[in-house]
Amino acid sequence: MIRERIADDIYVFTSRRYAHVTCGAILTKEGVVLIDTLFYPDEARDVRDFIENKLGQQVRYVINTHYHADHISGTWLYPHATVISHARCRELIDTVGRKGLKLTKKQSKEFANASIVLPTLVVREGELDITVGKKTLRLLHLPGHSEDLIGIHLLEDNVLFASDTMMPLPTFFDGDFDLLQASLRKVNEMMPDTVVQGHGEVILRGELNHAIGNHIDYMNKIKDEVELLIEEGLPRDSLDQISIESCGKSRIPLNGFVVDLHVANLYCLYDQLVDAEAARPGLNGHQS
């Protein structure tokens, strides 16, 4: 785990073991707000030990930005904290997350003590402001990477914890292409000074416009490429010919994991576009 201090009272922790996933800690006089927890128990424990033993502070709130296990698996390490998420996130943790943890426990002894924690405070629509100490955290729905994703805008510092809305490669295979583009535009319009991504390095204001433009261009490019392939009647596995570089992205970030994410994006888009075409009225003689 790599620890970085991005302000007097804000820390970002980045995993060395899983896809540079991040979590953040906001220190206040009324306790710590932890945004996500990292994935592997040893790294999640290191974060807790740093906050509780090195800093001598207690975690009062844990925010689950979305239900994906790489972000929230360490929530059980904070039994006295109030856990906050989107309402849909709570449902997904209770269903998909619960099944996933069972499987993870079978695959790895490391997770023997881990358990599912359901958030007790949920935001369903609009925004929710939480004031802790002198900090105001604005929770806002940023769907697209997944349907339940929330970002956290720390108003006094103008820091946005964007979770996986911002990562080196935009991904929507468990979410929605159009919603992700809308959420990326929303992040850009907010003009945060600092963006903590769900994976990878912190982004500063001067870099944000370019990063988001590049993400949106990438998404448009893969859509064009996949549409072309469908029009030409090429089989699904010819998607493998569409390289990440030809869509304007490098294969280097996240130790090359972005290539897997790129392929998953392509296959998801292909299936969605083929399904949409099949559902169009007028085909197969059906009108609706």
Contact residues for Zn ion (CB under 5 A)?
Answer: 68, 70, 164, 198
Q: How far is the CB of 198 from Zn ion (least distance, A)?
A: 5
Token reading at 179: 């919603």
By Cβ distance, which residue is nearest to Zn ion?
Answer: 164
Nearer CB in complex with Zn ion: 9/70? 70
Of 226, 87, 190, 73, nearest in space to 143 by CA: 87
Question: Least Å distance between CB 269 and Zn ion?
Answer: 19
The nearer residue to Zn ion, 25 or 27, going by C-beta atoms, is: 25
Chain centre to alpha carbon of residue 59: 21
CA dihedral 29, 31, 34, 38 (to 10 degrees): 120
CA torsion 233→235→241→246, rounded to 10°?
Answer: 40
SS3 assignment, position 170 = coil
What is the closest distance, in whole angstroms, from the C-beta atom of residue 175 to Zn ion in the complex? 11
Q: Residue 47 Cβ, how far from Zn ion at the closest point, in Å?
A: 16
Burial code (b: 16+ CB inside 10 Å, e: under 16) for 44-67 equals: bebbbebbeeeeebebbbbbbbbb
> Which tokens belong to 119?
């958030």
**Least separation, in Å, of the C-beta of 259 and Zn ion?**
16
Nearest distance from residue 207's CB to Zn ion, in Å?
20
Q: Which is nearer to Zn ion, 19 or 27 (CB)?
A: 19
Question: Which of 21, 32 has the CB closer to Zn ion?
Answer: 21
Residue whose CB is less far from Zn ion, 129 or 260: 260
Q: Closer to Zn ion at the Cβ: 68 or 249?
A: 68
Q: What share of the chain is helix, strand, coil (3-state, %, to 5)?
A: 45, 25, 35
CA distance 140 to 129: 9
Give the residue from 195, 160, 175 showing the smallest Cα distance to 68. Answer: 175
